[in-house]
């Protein structure tokens, strides 16, 4: 599944530039000199208050696509500490994250890092874990889906999950399984195992169906997670965003950097290692207009291309969850907060995206 998933507020300052700096600890043993990224405002997600950007943990435990090794765990923990110290309290994971024997590793690491966090207790208490439960073919009953939720709680060694999400819809290939999974979401909510429920990879029609189904059972659908970026903003994404806005569902944007294609770090002659290289080789040659616009705006505002791409997602009213696996990546992503692109810059980026002939491949589990 992981390989196939090739997956705010008005208080923000309107200025793109930020020159002041302060010392903020990423861990008790290390001080990093960082800018004041944002004014610690939160976004409402149902009963929860979360940071306007979260961090994704798909790479934690994934050897195939992201080259994970257990020797990385120390830096992953430093990365987590840095994020929490700087106000990030939303972390997205899944029970299927981790390849082979490492299945579930992402959840295990998150739970460990939360327990061992030595910063302010208030920050530790406010952490929101959003995990996704896979619609495996052997999960055929609400009880089996409920068991999956309990297994995630056990792996993370936490009392309650912040947002429990159905990882994908089975409507495309096993429609009879779908209702059981929906009933599983209702059960985990009613039993207090999760504070809120959401979905991932749901298209417009299925999104409305599950919203109505859950509402009739007294369970609000709080989030919808889809691939959303300058590289993948098509008619379906815009329709999903409009539905979310009208129904009070918060849209979580996964792959806001297009698996790294919007970072400016790769070219057709400088590709990433592993399976991503095949995809990059197909798409990168058609991204010149978009990458040029990102670079121009970044240079003008003393930002980086990833920061501009993530900030675009925030300006569109979504909660982006860029993946992180190093302190350097976390520092850079944090720089996407505390400022807003101008309306002219938004238009420039969206025009460049339309002029770029290549787009991101959509998740095969995305429904209509």
pLDDT, tens digit (0-9, with 9 covering 90-100), for 218-234:
999 999 999 999 998 88
How confident is the model at residue 198, as a pLDDT?
98
- Burial readout 27-54 (b: 16 or more C-beta within 10 A, e: otherwise): beeeebebbebbeebbbebbebebbbbb
Burial class (CB in 10 A: 0-12, 13-18, 19+), 156: buried
Phi, psi of 134 (to 5 degrees): -70, 140
Q: Tell me the C-alpha distance between 248 and 34, whole Å.
A: 35
To the query of whether residue 213 is one of the catalytic residues in this protein, the response is no
How confident is the model at residue 10, as a pLDDT?
29
* CA atoms within a 13 Å half-sphere pointing along the CA-CB vector of 309: 33
Average pLDDT score over residue span 29-39:
45
Q: Which of 3, 11, 68, 97 is catalytic?
A: 97
Q: Which residue has the tokens 């090739």?
A: 6
Phi, psi of 60 (to 5 degrees): -75, 100
How confident is the model at residue 363, as a pLDDT?
65
Average pLDDT score over residue span 9-15:
29
Lowest mean pLDDT among 61-65, 205-209, 257-261, 280-284: 61-65
Lowest mean pLDDT among 64-68, 235-239, 362-366: 362-366
- Residue 34 confidence (pLDDT) above 80: no
- CA 139 to each of CA 1, 131, 151: distance values in angstroms, whole numbers, following the listed order: 15, 17, 13
How confident is the model at residue 25, as a pLDDT?
45
- Residue 318 confidence (pLDDT) above 70: yes
- Residue 22 confidence (pLDDT) above 50: no
Angle, nearest 10°, between helix axes 305-315 and 343-355? 110
How confident is the model at residue 326, as a pLDDT?
94
Q: For 100-156, what is each residue's pLDDT tens digit? A: 777 889 999 999 999 999 999 999 999 999 999 999 999 999 999 999 999 999 999
For residues 249 and 211, is the Cβ–Cβ distance under 8 A? yes
- Residue 344 confidence (pLDDT) above 50: yes
pTM: 0.88
- Average pLDDT over all residues of the chain: 87
Quote the percentage of the chain above a pLDDT of 90.
Answer: 71
Phi, psi of 137 (to 5 degrees): -65, -20
**pLDDT tier, 24 (very low <50, low <70, confident <90, very high otherwise):** very low
How confident is the model at residue 103, as a pLDDT?
82
């Amino acid at each position: 599944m992981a390989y196939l998933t090739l997956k705010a507020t008005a208080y923000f300052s309107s200025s793109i530039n930020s020159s002041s700096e302060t010392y903020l600890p990423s861990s008790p043993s290390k001080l990093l000199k960082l800018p004041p990224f944002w004014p610690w405002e939160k976004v409402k997600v149902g009963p929860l208050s979360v940071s306007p950007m979260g961090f994704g943990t798909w790479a934690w435990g994934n050897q195939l696509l992201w080259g994970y090794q257990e020797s990385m765990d120390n830096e992953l923990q430093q990365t987590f500490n840095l994020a929490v110290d700087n106000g990030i309290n939303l972390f997205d994971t899944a029970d299927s994250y981790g390849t082979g024997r490492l299945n579930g590793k992402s959840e295990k690491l998150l739970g460990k890092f939360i327990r061992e966090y030595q910063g302010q207790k208030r920050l530790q208490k406010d952490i929101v874990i959003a995990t996704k439960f896979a619609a495996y073919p052997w999960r055929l009953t609400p009880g089996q889906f409920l068991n999956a939720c309990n297994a995630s709680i056990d792996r993370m060694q936490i009392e309650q999950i912040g947002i429990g999400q159905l990882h994908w819809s089975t409507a495309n290939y096993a429609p009879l399984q779908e209702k059981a999974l929906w009933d599983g979401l209702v059960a985990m909510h009613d039993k207090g195992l999760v504070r809120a429920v959401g979905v991932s990879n749901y298209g417009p029609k299925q999104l409305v169906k599950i919203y109505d189904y859950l509402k009739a059972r007294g369970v609000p659908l709080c989030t919808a997670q889809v691939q959303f970026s300058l590289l993948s903003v098509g008619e379906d994404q815009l329709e999903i965003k409009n539905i979310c806005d009208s129904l009070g569902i918060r849209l979580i944007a996964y792959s806001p950097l297009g698996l790294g294609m919007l970072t400016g770090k790769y070219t057709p002659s400088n590709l990433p290692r592993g399976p991503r290289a095949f995809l990059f080789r197909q798409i990168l040659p058609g991204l010149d207009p978009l990458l040029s616009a990102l670079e121009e705006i970044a240079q003008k505002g003393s930002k980086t291309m990833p920061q501009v791409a993530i900030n675009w997602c925030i300006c569109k009213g979504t909660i982006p969850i860029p993946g992180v696996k190093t302190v350097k990546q976390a520092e850079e992503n944090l720089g996407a907060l505390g400022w807003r692109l101008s309306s002219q810059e938004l238009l420039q980026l969206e025009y460049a995206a339309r002029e770029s002939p290549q787009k991101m491949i959509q998740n095969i589990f995305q429904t209509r």
